[in-house]
Structure 1
Amino acid sequence: MVAGCGARESEPASVTGDPALLQEHGFANADAHEIIDRLEALPVAERPQSLLASVTATSLQLRDDAGREAELPLPDDQFYLSAAPFVKTTHECAFHSLTACRGELRNREVTVSVVDSSSGETVQDGPHATHDNGFVGLWLPRGITAKLTITLEDLTGAAAISPQADDDLTCLTSLQLT
């Protein structure tokens, strides 16, 4: 099922699947960017247990316990990367689950730097807080190759990132702080 593009203001444009799923979870007028930011910011205990929300390189995919599904496209010029810096423990992940993924460093103040490898331009630089799930959510320009550096006190980790392809990973769990 495809919701109408722009005809009804109560549904986001380009929603495929069941728009009632969005309505029931309070996302009726939200786009993928807003839903991702809202879910990521929720304390773990308040995240909906009946909703599975995953981010791919191109869309936000939602599914509930009843098997209903909805999909919303990410902005064409942006890529969402959720990074879980760690010191001791991590897990493997490819596509970030906003409702299930957990990282080691919950609710910690970190410094995040993203520098475009081609131009040397700083894309992001400054303080961030890891969410209650241990992840830092980053909206990045699509198509860049960059160096991501995360610092926690005297510990630092870095990784090359390249949010370009439609199948690129959205969950970075290999960034160890040493």
Structure 2
Amino acid sequence: MNKKYSLMIGFVAIIIVAYLFVVNTSNAPEVVEATDIKERVQDYSEGNSTSESASITSEQLIVTDSDENETTYELPEEEFFVSIAPFEETTHPCAIHSLTGCQGEMVNETFDIYIEDMKGNVIVDDTVESQANGFIDLWVPRDQTYNVKISHGGKTADSTFSTFENDNTCITTIQLTERNEA
């Protein structure tokens, strides 16, 4: 093989590799550091930001616009987002919370919520109102397991959830029931 032919093959190979790199990276989701991710999440939860969809995993907020462009925002390293939809009659199965799609049963209701870690440290002890989507959004420390007690209108529910990588961000299994105190 002569030198000129080898150079031409090498040049063509470089062009092909460069083309494949551009094609593969142009279709990849954009990763953006949000200056105030909590505010951005709250805006989607409250319907103040519009996008085709916005969902939140244990690590990222993923927003898709009407042109199917996806933007990914990294969540805080020390805090985990969880959204709880207490219910009495109706719920839906869910693992990754859709800020723009999930709908809980108990809209704009007041709840007493108490959360403690496995060591008994109180994380939340407050009266909160669910949003228009029926969910209560919380930011809690990562890499923990928590006991949660939710009360509303004489009904109560006890449950647990955890905040490790790949854990659920949407909790729709906490059913409020009347308790007989013995």
Match of 2:154 in 1: 154
Deviation at 1:121, TM superposition (A): 0.8
Deviation at 1:172, TM superposition (A): 0.2
Query: Aligned to 1:33, what secondary structure does the other structure show?
Result: helix
CA distance in 2, matches of 1:142, 1:18: 21
CA distance in 1, matches of 2:143, 2:122: 15
Question: Structure 1 residue runs of 4+, over 4 Å off?
Answer: none
Match of 1:35 in 2: 40
Q: Percent identity between the aligned chains? A: 34
Query: Aligned to 2:97, what secondary structure does the other structure show?
Result: coil
- How many corresponding residue pairs? 149
Q: Which has the higher helix share?
A: 2
Match of 2:75 in 1: 74
Match of 1:173 in 2: 172
Question: Conserved in 2, the CA contact under 8 Å of 1:59 and 1:72?
Answer: yes
Deviation at 1:32, TM superposition (A): 2.3
Over aligned residue pairs, what C-alpha RMSD do you find?
1.8
Q: TM-score, normalised by structure 2?
A: 0.77
CA shift digits 1:100-159 (9 cap, x unpaired) = 000000000101111111x10100001110000000001010011110111112011121
Q: TM-score, normalised by structure 1?
A: 0.78
Question: Conserved in 2, the CA contact under 8 Å of 1:60 and 1:73?
Answer: yes
Counterpart residue type for residue 129 of structure 1 = E
Question: Conserved in 1, the CA contact under 8 Å of 2:52 and 2:66?
Answer: yes
1:132 aligns with 2:132: yes
Query: Aligned to 1:36, what secondary structure does the other structure show?
Result: helix
1:103 aligns with 2:104: yes
Counterpart residue type for residue 40 of structure 2 = I
Match of 1:17 in 2: 30
CA shift digits 1:69-101 (9 cap, x unpaired) = 100011000000000000000000110000000
Write the mapping of 1:49-68 to structure 2, written as runs, cut at 5 A: 50-68=51-69
CA distance in 2, matches of 1:37, 1:158: 25
Q: Which runs of 5+ in 1 are unaligned?
A: 1-15, 20-27
| Cα distance change on mapping 1:53 and 1:88 into 2, 3 Å | same
CA distance in 2, matches of 1:102, 1:131: 10
| Cα distance change on mapping 1:66 and 1:18 into 2, 3 Å | farther
Question: Conserved in 2, the CA contact under 8 Å of 1:32 and 1:59?
Answer: no
Deviation at 1:31, TM superposition (A): 3.2
Query: Aligned to 1:90, what secondary structure does the other structure show?
Result: coil
